[in-house]
Amino acid sequence: MSPYTMPVDIMPVEKPDNRMELTKYLNWIWQTYFTDVPRINTVEIAYCFHWKSRLGLIRLSLDSTLTFIGINTLLQVATIPDEILLITIAHEMVHYTHGFGSPLPRQHKHPHANQIVERELEQRGLGISLRNCNEWIDKYWYSFYDMQRASGWTDTTGAGHATQRQCR
């Protein structure tokens, strides 16, 4: 076992009820939907920017000891359905699983080719949440984004944000 391997299944984790506890969300998702995926390096998660067309990102450090998952800071707003945060983190976990943003072997040439992320989420029991997420994004995301921008991002300040360097 690598020094960076951290078993996810040491203690049962309950679904967090606070959107600021992204590490708890990540651990719950890993333990609930990705139990077959080894955590072979340190994985950190934090809110980043309020992107208009991106909900999350995943990055691997040059020495492969750290994976960083950045989440759109707007997803901490309480009016956003919980499934959006769930699917965003799970989407980044699929990338980790497929060797994008992680030291795991690459399973595919391109991270989104042939709807591999969507198929993996379906196989892991997240199909209904994925459809609900996509429907909400299609109907409400851009108007929600515009309202938040017009308000000066007042609902998206607080602790738990990554540095600009991590989010690039």
In the structure encoding, which two tokens stand for residue 98, read together?
A: 């497929």
Gap between the Cα atoms of 123 and 141, Å rounded: 26
Q: How many CB atoms lie within 10 A of CB 150?
A: 8
What pLDDT, on a 0 to 100 scale, did the predictor assign at position 153? 74
* Cβ-based neighbours of 54, under 8 Å, separated by 6 or more: 72
What's the chain's average pLDDT?
A: 87
What pLDDT, on a 0 to 100 scale, did the predictor assign at position 10? 47
Domains of the chain: 22-152 (3.30.2010.10)
- Residue type present at position 83: E
Q: How many CB atoms lie within 10 A of CB 168?
A: 11
Could you say which DSSP state residue 139 is in? I
What pLDDT, on a 0 to 100 scale, did the predictor assign at position 14? 82
The pTM of this model reads 0.87
Rounded to 10°, the helix 127-136/82-97 angle is: 120
- Residues in the chain where the model's pLDDT stays below 70: 1-12, 154-168
CA 163 to chain centre: 17
Q: Is residue 93 within 8 Å of residue 30, measured between CB atoms? A: yes
Tens of pLDDT, residues 127-160 = 999 999 999 999 999 999 999 999 887 666 554 5
